[in-house]
């Protein structure tokens, strides 16, 4: 009897896993939330009048994005228009990115609006070193596992991915985990992306068509351009560069 119980305890989870239905194509809706109050730090050199003005604004700015995916491709873009705020420049650049990822070709193309200039950035996939933990949480009805990575040398990223969607994608340019990223937080940017729903709607080829407009560049050249253009912007420059390079 004890042997039978032991066998059931070992075999049953394996059978359940084998019967699990994976999601290989569909559409994910993400809510991005930016803490506007935290975009201005306590040691900011601007006047107290400006800081108090920021505090009169709603603390969070929310916007919706969609990620259409299939086994070898993802397309991330804003859903509708970006909700306006009294001081839109407070959020900085590149808040309406369109990002197309081809896993077969190991390439990514991003359309970014950086102040008055539109960039079309083509490059290979990012090489984020993720550390996966045992912490789990449920997002949009799917069980996710926590992972921590780092971008721009010093900016830590917390992600929650689900292996129920075995596509290594996520919002913006984040990928590289053994499943789809449904939750993302960048503490130093005081911003989160969390999936609100996953729809099993098969995307068409047209859904993955990418614009050809914009100044063509790659990540290295774009970073050099930003460093040169924003060299006199102080602390804002660093945060703006982080945003553009997501």
Distance CA 223, CA 204 (A): 33
Give me the pLDDT at residue 236, please.
Answer: 81
Residue 5 lies in a domain: no
- Please check whether residue 2 lies inside any domain of the structure: no
**8 Å CB contact between 29 and 197:** yes
CA separation for the pair 187, 89 (Å, rounded): 20
Report the sign of the C-alpha dihedral through residues 209, 213, 218, 224, in that order. negative
Q: Is residue 108 part of a domain?
A: yes
Is 16 among the domain residues?
Answer: no
Radius of gyration of the chain measured on its C-alpha atoms: 20
The residue segments making up the domain with residue 53 are 23-244
User: What 8-state DSSP symbol labels residue 43?
Assistant: T
Q: Which of 195, 245, 244, 243 is nearest to 34 (CA)?
A: 243
Angle separating helix axes 235-244 and 219-229, nearest 10 degrees: 160
- Asked if residue 3 is part of any domain, the answer here is no
Residue 10 lies in a domain: no
Segment holding 9, helix H or strand E: helix 2-19
34 SS3 class: strand
Tell me how many domains the chain contains.
1
Count of positions (residues) in the chain: 246
DSSP-derived 3-state class of residue 105:
coil
43 φ/ψ sector (left φ>0, alpha ψ -120 to 50, else beta) = alpha
User: How many Å apart are CA 114 and CA 241, to the nearest integer?
Assistant: 10
33: part of which helix (H) or strand (E)?
Answer: strand 26-35
As a whole number of angstroms, the distance between CA 26 and CA 241 comes to 32
Is 9 within a domain? no
Mean pLDDT of successive 10-residue stretches along the chain, which has 246 residues: 44 45 95 89 64 81 97 96 80 93 97 95 94 98 97 95 97 97 96 97 94 96 95 86 95
Query: Which pTM value belongs to this model?
Result: 0.88
pLDDT at 64: 98
**Contact predicate 171/17, CB 8 Å:** no
> Does some domain include residue 237?
yes
Q: What is the CATH number of the domain that holds 79?
A: 2.50.20
Residue pair 158/185 in contact (Cβ under 8 Å)? The answer is: yes
- Cα(89)–Cα(113) distance, integer angstroms: 12
Using a 10 angstrom Cβ sphere, with 0-12 exposed, 13-18 middle and 19 or more buried, the burial of residue 205 is exposed
């Amino acid at each position: 009897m004890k042997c039978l119980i032991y066998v059931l305890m070992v075999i049953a989870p394996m059978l359940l896993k084998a019967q699990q239905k994976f999601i290989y194509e569909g559409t994910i809706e993400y809510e991005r939330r930016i803490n506007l109050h935290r975009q201005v730090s306590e040691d900011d050199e601007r006047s107290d009048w400006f800081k108090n003005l920021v505090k009169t604004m709603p603390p969070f700015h929310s916007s919706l994005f969609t990620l259409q995916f299939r086994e070898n491709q993802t397309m991330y873009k804003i859903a509708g228009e970006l909700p306006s705020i009294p001081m839109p420049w407070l959020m900085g650049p590149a808040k309406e990115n369109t990002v197309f990822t081809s896993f077969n070709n190991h390439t990514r193309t991003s359309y970014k609006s950086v102040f008055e200039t539109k960039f079309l950035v083509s490059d290979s996939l990012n090489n984020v070193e993720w550390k996966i933990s045992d912490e789990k949480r449920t997002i949009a009805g799917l069980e996710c596992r926590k992972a921590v990575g780092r971008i721009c040398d010093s900016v830590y990223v917390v992600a929650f991915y689900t292996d129920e969607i075995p596509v290594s994608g996520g919002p913006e340019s984040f990928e590289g985990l053994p499943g789809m990223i449904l939750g993302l937080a960048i503490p130093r940017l005081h911003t989160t992306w969390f999936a609100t729903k996953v729809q099993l709607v098969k995307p068409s080829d047209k859904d993955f068509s990418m614009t050809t407009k914009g100044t063509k560049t790659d990540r290295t050249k774009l970073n050099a351009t930003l460093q040169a253009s924003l060299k006199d912007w102080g602390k804002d420059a660093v945060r703006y560069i982080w945003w553009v390079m997501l």
